[in-house]
Structure 1
């Protein structure tokens, strides 16, 4: 797919889809590439559009149009081949490599060779400068839904590149070029170019290779000589060549299987053969494109007749004097400004200009009462203006009943005050200029109405059959009043638009229509561009627009050349029509049975309307919804507005909107570890801020060793369906191939809690390559230095947090800017935690090496290690339940137990925070001071912390009191006792090493928890700042609800503050709607390629005697009822003495640990949150038990063995 924007509303497109089982689909005009009547502003043409979402990261690629389906590409533009079918898709493209910029990244040897062979003179260097164009490539992944007429919709994921160039490109000066793009099965991608530009570079050979991990090597040598392959126009279907990049030689074999031909330029100045091919590069299979370009030297040139776009009406330059005008005739060029006359007035002025350029329709004469007139009305009626300020305050309160009452009051005031004389005089003057004094239509034309972002259809009034100055002035005031009707105000409020707005009013001569209705230039439901739909009824079109009558529906088939013919007629009942009354106004009139039984619009008239609609669509450069009327065989156009519904994202698109692209489908990812820190689906705001901070923090550790990977396209973490995953291919990069003391098992143990068989060292080397010995030594030195300084990083973070705050501003824009400037501090906090976690993992690795004595790591070794981590002092995660236990004991001692249980959580919170609670309240306040930044799903910005919503903790305290939960007694750790309990044999020297190492390892667990608490505390500052920003945006009318802020990305919030985009607010609402579905998804622990959720019902309990195995992390055996919790909001159902079975736990679960008798998690490892706290409480705990929440049910009697790592369901007999 390619779009090239040209002057004069023209573009060139290259567009072909090769779909297995369907055939070859290509743009219907191919091999010609010229497209006319584009909007001239965006990368869009012939239904294909490229829209940037995030700079250098993400693009949206959409198509809705006709394509030619053939067995092989069409080569003769004068012959009709294949059949035209409707194709529609909406893809997201996201980059996984850095861009390769041909200005800066080309290999010096390559460009030096090309320049050296040229004749250097003044003309040569002038040509180099004058013909320069900026050009870059970037590889990524494309995904989305593809619908081909006659076939089932399919969802696809495709690898591909984005090629962008701008500057001078004259096809006539190019002799020829060959360019190869290839993607290989290991995830590598490459481009090799050989070109001849006679005036500057007659023999340039260049390119690049990207490794699967994103490492780029520029091509230094290519042995493909342009003159030796296809110079005579005969292109081989099989050939080979070699190139060198990064000191490595690559052998390339090319096999062509499909070859479309395209002609560029109005006179077909160049010919391109876009050859689809299979590649083999150093034994690796791949696919891609070979592009052969020739200067087109045929004598006939383009066989098509001369073509050009319809002239588009330019937007006028609005001056200060224009802004003071109270009325504007529709014929005035300035009237095309939406700033002066709103959406409807501007559209009618544009149609009026088209009418004068020889169109086949007329626009009723008229004028606009400008927005300046309404502003003057408000200025000279101060009470009206103050009433609007009251309305603005009420709209931000969210009180619907009060808002409805205020809207009614404002509307009544608008119609009751007198119109300003000067405005009335301006209307009289415009009426005097009209050629008739017949009836008029008076219609509203508000800011944003009938635009691509908002329609506001039917919210403001239209007055028909109006006669004379007095009635027109009254109708104008009614239109002004309708701007503040409740439906209109609520619509603006819900779309983040200013409630206090402005409006123009259109006054037009009313057409005495015999037939009228609406025409859609594309099918309004399917978007089919080959189907135009007309709704028509007798009389005025109001009966069709308002839905008061069931109209006739005429479907026109439309050819790619603009021809139209009637395809089908669906007769409506047409029982009534709207007719004008002689004395003014309109009335409903019965339609005779004879009229009802036939179509109100003849086939000839329908086809004529179709041709007019094609004219209008070409003029606007996009599909239109057109209101029309026919009177005495003349077609009148009453309105044209863009159809805005075709680009709305489907549920599937929204679910996958933020998916992370993968370079290779072999990549392994896991929900472990990150599923504990960020369980469930993330909101877009969290995904664009905190998760990126964690990503960069993870990259920071790698970067600190000298292995440079810190860039936005390399992913150690990834998103799919809103859930976060760890990319194990990238996380285990610091293994033996880059660091001498590295061990992939170390990372696997820290993340998954076991050694992974799914990924081997050969896989990692294939993906990342292998460093030389001296580089591995240097990397190891840097890593040790980094781990040594990580403790200082945490201490510095904790010191910063003692006085840290994010400044509060009194307006949303300043507050957003404050947050934006402070976001790097969030990254620094998570970098400290990530580094500290690496330090802790390193000490755990030493312990494991002593226990295993060089043998393979087994579950017995993990079970033995658990003994060494019992009762680590000052573990933050364990401090939470400890503090709550002490508080519960204090409440019982002071006799408050029954009183607090009887209260609601809100009442109990108020009492605990009040002065009457005494020492108990002081303990509660101390708890909030120390741990108030924590909560369930604490890294999710939308989740309020315990400090912001203390009732989350209060309900847990009440549960503890109901169960008479008292503080547990912990035994201090004893090294000799721990050694006696382990089953792995230990040598004398091993025992000595253990005794020396163990204090550091245990302290490492403490520091890891402390650093996480500090990072979460930093995130909580941003959480509070974003909630405050949300409140400001609601107060300023930019958002209808505070909660919606979290369904925008950080970048989108900035865009919304600059543009008040109604599209973004609507998208946030749709994103929020699908979040519960995303939250309900569950994934396998280990995924290859893009994660696929486990289908609901795919796992079921079979039989009563069920046993699952996992990793033992806290010893002991217990038999008790199970409590299976799959939704966080159900955590409050936990009862004392139960065994909790859950996917994972984080700090938010800590308050419930005193109630439990055991813990089972589907995710986790030896030092995961659940394991650490379970050991502190002496609770039997088994982690990494696959599918436990699906296989067990609440109430099952369960035997949990935390020593062997088993969970068994018991029946009545056992």
Structure 2
């Protein structure tokens, strides 16, 4: 049967009735009032012929030539992850059989409209089939849309109603100024608008019933007829909401997104998150803080890493200073925290500090840190050499073969490897960073009134001994020496170049040596679920192609870096001279502090460089465990283990559980989150994106962010959301959501950098400063407000971005 009455639809039969019809079936099953009608299933669409007699009989059952609404109901429509709102056709007030048949044809044709095809491509949906819903028309006195959670702020405790007199289509297509209502727990009187208090109360009650029945926030179309009777026309999930944090105690909590500090805004895989939580536990145990609960400090929401700030927000002694304290994490955080500490729901409470844990941590960590800092101050060059030399030993320890042969043994190695790296090489490698940051901070204070922070930061331009800088320059040297192969490397598809490298047919340009040294790195490298360059060198070939397009010798990366180094040295000379002219007794101390800063700041990338060797071994053993589980039929392939957690992988090995369905669900969720463009900088446990509640500040002089690397640059924008497959022409300004070291090969040919998130201390801005290119961070919506090819000017000191 290709025509089914709406009252007989099975909500689970999505492939036959499509998303819209399935949503109506849910409403009917919940006992809600829905206009009568029928569904023409996808069977008819696949046959390519309308079953005229069936449609005629179903239409006649509704009444003689009754006006109907004809709505598309594609199988990829009104789904939890994609609404398809307005992408396919709806026709209203259709009267008569012939017009009805024509309207069905129109709905079918809209499946492959340009806008629908583009929407499916953007959401990674390969195909779709079309069912059609036919319902009797409701002559509305008022109609509109009800959101059971606030779609702008994400707040789950608020509902939003947009309404207009007459047809609701004007609200949906945006052709009228709708009456807008935000419904909290209490609905006060509304003097204006087309709905009264009783109707708003009824809509809120209906919304609660449907949301409770479905189990998720809903976007509901409704209409009040001439008699004041409420009809529901459609219900679908609100697809734009950021996932809701879990709150065990039911109290309002505050979470700050922390991935931007690592240049990581893409979602972490479930295994990547699980490993990160386990490592955090190991770090706390290492410092004697065993009493602290990791989930209370660190939480993954929507795959993104958040820190729980609730104890600090509620602390009477901290909350007032908190906005200023959080400035180091990025300027977008500050106004949000200022708003939060004024929230009456987050009243001050005494911060319960586990004094025993704090004491143990201080006793365990303070002496070695103090000794390390003193050693660096006394003999900086010797300490630097010894620390850099530790890379070989760490690499050897992490790449040494093991006798692991079972899933449990591979997981044991994956969990144990960090213990031998964290306590020793990584901790010691942090000491130069503490010294460099302390020296820079102290010098900035002594230069107060004589130089800005931006001017002081110029001393780190072209700073030596940065492993990320050295990596990028080494890749440039390979490109320079491979000039004779320019046509091959720039004109051959990257996949073919990767194949040639693996088959040994690529000319020897030094790439194998580069991957042997740096193959444990890549974009999003702190997530063990993401392949490294050694596994997938495609991004390295992309970077080589970028370098080989550079023909101006003045813009050669090594020349630019030497120029940046000269500017850094000159900055020290200029600043010391200013002090000598105005505060002469301080000049020797300021000079010493600035030189120590420049001498040591490049080592800030080294602790992570060492840690990545351990993460590389973790990934190798996880994949080995995944291969064993796949061989036993519990996973489809080895990579699927990255969509389990550590304990789940152990349980699968112990119990023989088939994890393929769970992996498929999590992979789909992960891919959906990969497409999410906006991540809240601060999120409340009720789902509120606090930044979205703040007033929008207009900037007549262009976009504003925060200066993170001084200097000015003008160039064509190149908007890139993923470094894989990215190409950037010399002189272009890179505009990205965020950047980590896996992005930095693009910096060597870029004239400047603009990011949507970040902090001045994060990897991307740090490397930009050392390359001598200006950088502006925390420009909200930069990748959508700026288009590739636009001429833009950025000021890395003031944080301004001007679009010409």
What is the TM-score when the length of structure 1 is the normalising length?
0.40
Say if 2:273 is the partner of 1:687.
Answer: yes
Q: How far apart, in 2, do the equivalents of 1:1155 and 1:1169 lie? A: 18
**Residue of structure 1 aligned with 2:394, choices 800, 803, 807:** 800
**Residue of structure 2 aligned with 1:873, choices 457, 464, 481:** 464
Equivalent pair of 2:291/2:354 in contact (CA under 8 Å): no
Say if 2:522 is the partner of 1:931.
Answer: no
**Residue of structure 2 aligned with 1:941, choices 522, 525, 528:** 528
In the alignment, what sits opposite 1:714?
296
Write out per-residue CA displacement over residues 1081-1127 of structure 1, whole angstroms, 9 at most, x where no aligned residue.
Answer: 3223344556656999x999999x65223332322211111122234
The 1:841–1:733 alpha-carbon spacing in structure 2 relative to 1, beyond 3 Å, is: farther
User: For 2:299, what is the secondary structure of its paired residue?
Assistant: strand
1:764-1163 to structure 2, matched below 5 A, reads 766=349, 768=351, 779=362, 783=366, 785-786=368-369, 788-789=371-372, 799-805=393-399, 807=401, 814-826=406-418, 829=421, 833=426, 840-841=433-434, 843-853=436-446, 861-892=452-483, 895-912=484-501, 920-921=508-509, 923-964=510-551, 966-969=556-559, 970-971=562-563, 972-973=565-566, 975=569, 977-980=571-574, 987-1062=583-658, 1064-1081=659-676, 1082-1089=678-685, 1092=688, 1107-1129=702-724, 1132-1163=726-757
> Cα offset for 1:935?
0.7
In the alignment, what sits opposite 2:192?
none
Q: How far apart, in 2, do the equivalents of 1:853 and 1:777 lie? A: 35
1:165-244 to structure 2, matched below 5 A, reads none
User: For 1:689, what is the secondary structure of its paired residue?
Assistant: helix
Q: How far apart, in 2, do the equivalents of 1:527 and 1:1146 lie? A: 39
Say if 2:306 is the partner of 1:725.
Answer: yes
Q: How far apart, in 2, do the equivalents of 1:782 and 1:732 lie? A: 27
> Cα offset for 1:1027?
2.0
User: For 1:1033, what is the secondary structure of its paired residue?
Assistant: helix
User: For 2:663, what is the secondary structure of its paired residue?
Assistant: helix
The 1:1165–1:1012 alpha-carbon spacing in structure 2 relative to 1, beyond 3 Å, is: same
Q: How far apart, in 1, do the equivalents of 2:324 and 2:585 lie? A: 22
> Cα offset for 1:946?
0.6
Equivalent pair of 1:833/1:1008 in contact (CA under 8 Å): no
> Cα offset for 1:988?
3.5
User: For 2:746, what is the secondary structure of its paired residue?
Assistant: helix
> Cα offset for 1:870?
1.1
In the alignment, what sits opposite 1:200?
none
Report the structure, 1 or 2, having the larger strand content. 1
> Cα offset for 1:1004?
4.2
The 1:1159–1:735 alpha-carbon spacing in structure 2 relative to 1, beyond 3 Å, is: farther
In the alignment, what sits opposite 1:1174?
768
Q: How far apart, in 2, do the equivalents of 1:929 and 1:735 lie? A: 52
1:404-803 to structure 2, matched below 5 A, reads 656=243, 665=252, 667-671=254-258, 673-674=260-261, 676=263, 678-694=264-280, 696-697=282-283, 699=284, 703=287, 709-715=291-297, 717-728=298-309, 748=326, 751-752=329-330, 756=334, 766=349, 768=351, 779=362, 783=366, 785-786=368-369, 788-789=371-372, 799-803=393-397
Q: How far apart, in 2, do the equivalents of 1:771 and 1:1001 lie? A: 35
The 1:692–1:987 alpha-carbon spacing in structure 2 relative to 1, beyond 3 Å, is: farther
Q: How far apart, in 2, do the equivalents of 1:691 and 1:794 lie? A: 28
Write out per-residue CA displacement over residues 52-89 of structure 1, whole angstroms, 9 at most, x where no aligned residue.
Answer: xxxxxxxxxxxxxxxxxxxxxxxxxxxxxxxxxxxxxx
The 1:1185–1:655 alpha-carbon spacing in structure 2 relative to 1, beyond 3 Å, is: closer
The 1:688–1:777 alpha-carbon spacing in structure 2 relative to 1, beyond 3 Å, is: closer
User: For 1:718, what is the secondary structure of its paired residue?
Assistant: strand
Q: How far apart, in 1, do the equivalents of 2:314 and 2:709 lie? A: 30
Equivalent pair of 2:720/2:726 in contact (CA under 8 Å): no
Equivalent pair of 1:750/1:841 in contact (CA under 8 Å): no
Q: How far apart, in 2, do the equivalents of 1:827 and 1:663 lie? A: 35
Q: How far apart, in 2, do the equivalents of 1:942 and 1:771 lie? A: 34
User: For 1:978, what is the secondary structure of its paired residue?
Assistant: helix
Q: How far apart, in 2, do the equivalents of 1:1137 and 1:867 lie? A: 21
> Cα offset for 1:1069?
0.6
The 1:669–1:1094 alpha-carbon spacing in structure 2 relative to 1, beyond 3 Å, is: closer
The 1:1165–1:1065 alpha-carbon spacing in structure 2 relative to 1, beyond 3 Å, is: same
Q: How far apart, in 2, do the equivalents of 1:1054 and 1:720 lie? A: 23
The 1:869–1:664 alpha-carbon spacing in structure 2 relative to 1, beyond 3 Å, is: farther
Q: Which has the larger radius of gyration?
A: 1
Report the structure, 1 or 2, having the larger helix content. 2
In the alignment, what sits opposite 2:113?
none
For these two proteins, the number of residue pairs brought into alignment is: 551
What is the TM-score when the length of structure 2 is the normalising length?
0.58
Gaps of 5+ in 2: 1-145, 157-212, 216-236, 374-382
The 1:801–1:1178 alpha-carbon spacing in structure 2 relative to 1, beyond 3 Å, is: same
Q: How far apart, in 2, do the equivalents of 1:682 and 1:939 lie? A: 9
> Cα offset for 1:1142?
1.2
**Residue of structure 1 aligned with 2:786, choices 1188, 1192, 1204:** 1192
Q: How far apart, in 1, do the equivalents of 2:329 and 2:473 lie? A: 27
Q: Which has the higher contact order (CA 8 A, sep 6+)?
A: 2
The 1:1125–1:1154 alpha-carbon spacing in structure 2 relative to 1, beyond 3 Å, is: same
In the alignment, what sits opposite 1:541?
none
Q: How far apart, in 2, do the equivalents of 1:1101 and 1:1149 lie? A: 30
In the alignment, what sits opposite 1:419?
none
